[in-house]
Amino acid sequence: MMDGSDSMLLEVNDLQMHYPVRSRSWFAKPDYVRAVDGVSFSIAKGETLGLIGESGCGKSSVGRSLLRLITPTAGKVRLEDVNILDLSKREMRDRRREMQIIFQDPFSSLDPRLTAEQIVSEPLVNFKVAKGRELSRRIEELFDQVGLQKQHLKRFPHEFSGGQRQRLGIARAMALNPRFVVCDEAVSALDVSVQAQIINLLMDLQEQLGLSYLFISHDLAVVEHISDRVAVMYLGKIVEIADCHSILQNPQHPYTQALVSAVPRRHPSQKKEKIILKGDLPSATNPPKGCRFHTRCPMAMERCSTVEPIIKRFSDDHAVACHLID
């Protein structure tokens, strides 16, 4: 989709993640949940790519396979010139210094028996980056960067509020100076006033450290605010990818159009035509033939139920997988 110029940090090619599910009989062919089924995109240095979609569309599986927290079934993930899926476990461990993740619920992703200081120092100690006085200096620096105070050092995760816990999770992710960070619904569990604090923090850190983000979220307004480009996923596939402005002002795929129209209005007197989709997300074990969206698509044609659309360039930085575009 994008040309592989030097500024690209991460390139994902035809990524697939199929989870086996128990089949009905020993002799039956095993079934797979095709959570990610051929996803390609790239992220430039210092860029944020938003990845949006509803529950079960595979967006978290994408994030996790990029870091090899789960092993993808097929595909390529190139960080600069290295395909990280070819690396041995030990080599991968080293690479993780450059790739980090921030999770949705900071309470279940922080060890409840470690103090804040221990949580943030763990990666630094593991990779032998710092010790002794140097270690405490670095931790204080990180705390300062994410807006935590010195008096928080000795506290346990349960003594923090949700927003502070997320700051702690961010400090841990930033400890090793990563170049690429996956934010998996990083602000979804937070109240709106605190959410604004964390979004601002993530954007400030990006500017200071030149980070690239994959920002996974179901909230279109948040994704729009933080991202340069946005990819929309439906049932394991990217259906549309474009710069932020085009996705919102000029969405081409009927699913993107429905998603944009479904966001509640900002003012009660604002007129908003809603595209109300019928039904629910089909099962990813047995996705619909042809275009996966055709069962709910208000504009489905006969061809949609038989031929799967391939993703095509619509304009400069805008690609869509839909037969209507031809």
Binding site for another protein (CB under 8 A): 54-55, 161-164, 191-197, 199-200, 203, 218, 220-222, 224-226, 243-245, 248-249, 258-270, 274, 276-277, 279-281
Least distance from another protein to the Cβ atom of residue 203, Å: 7
Nearer to another protein, 98 or 243 (CB): 243
Nearer to another protein, 138 or 218 (CB): 218
Least distance from another protein to the Cβ atom of residue 204, Å: 8
Least distance from another protein to the Cβ atom of residue 39, Å: 20
Least distance from another protein to the Cβ atom of residue 217, Å: 11
Least distance from another protein to the Cβ atom of residue 195, Å: 7
Least distance from another protein to the Cβ atom of residue 247, Å: 9
Q: Cα separations (Å) of 290 from 45, 155, 259, 300, 326?
A: 35, 54, 21, 11, 16
Nearer to another protein, 238 or 259 (CB): 259
